[in-house]
Chains A and B, each alone.
Chain A
Amino acid sequence: AQSVAQPEDQVNVAEGNPLTVKCTYSVSGNPYLFWYVQYPNRGLQFLLKYITGDNLVKGSYGFEAEFNKSQTSFHLKKPSALVSDSALYFCAVRDIYSGAGSYQLTFGKGTKLSVIP
């Protein structure tokens, strides 16, 4: 079974400072990893994904994430936080060996990011 852990319920960071939102995963095979962001009263918005290749992936709005296989982590980062980045961030995983026709994503519980002006 696949699972995702986001160890922090909330992350506070000052505007202009770098931010990190942590994610670790567990799969039986190789993972496809995703970050989504949810603004209040909105749906989940895709930010970035890791499928294969370069461990550092870049996504929307200046976000990036680093895949670390040995630590089974996929932390979300941004060099300089904006107040508008304040939202709920979800990490998700799909195990590529979970079977033909299986595309379900397993989500973490989410991390609330607050960027303080």
Chain B
Amino acid sequence: EPEVTQTPSHQVTQMGQEVILRCVPISNHLYFYWYRQILGQKVEFLVSFYNNEISEKSEIFDDQFSVERPDGSNFTLKIRSTKLEDSAMYFCASSESSGSSYEQYFGPGTRLTVT
């Protein structure tokens, strides 16, 4: 069964450093998403991406964040200058484009620790 994959599984970085989280969505999916889950809290939407542009973003997704689909398979989330409060589990997800198939399939997540 196709799966969303994410690398790395765990990233430790120092405050102020740039990090790039990588995702490979399911191959025939056209919509891509990033969510995050701070320890013990809700899963929160960050951004959705379709047709090589951001279709929606939340208040969390400020100028420090960016997304990119650099090739036909990868989807990345970049945090330019990490803060302590960026420590969280980051989940990538993808979904099909067809009418009723709105379920999003999630990757295993990248745990980001900012020290």
Contacts and interface: CB of A to CB of B under 8 A. Distances in A.
A51 interface: yes
B104 A105 contact: yes
Contacts, number: 62
A106 B45 contact: yes
Interface string B1-13: 0001010000000
Contact of A36 (B33, B45, B106): B106
A75 interface: no
A67 interface: no
Interface in B49-76: 50, 55-56, 58
Contacts of A106: 45
B48 interface: yes
Given A103-B48, A104-B33, A49 B103 contact: yes
A94 B109 CA distance: 22
Contacts of A107: 42-44
Interface residues of A, number: 25
Contacts of B93: 44
A43 B58 contact: no
Interface of A: 32, 34, 36, 41-46, 49, 51-52, 90, 92, 94, 101-110
19 contacts: A32-B102, A43-B6, A43-B91, A43-B107, A44-B43, A44-B93, A46-B106, A52-B100, A92-B43, A94-B102, A102-B56, A103-B33, A103-B48, A103-B56, A104-B33, A104-B48, A105-B35, A105-B45, A110-B43
Interface of B: 4, 6, 31, 33, 35, 41-45, 48, 50, 55-56, 58, 91, 93, 95, 100, 102-109
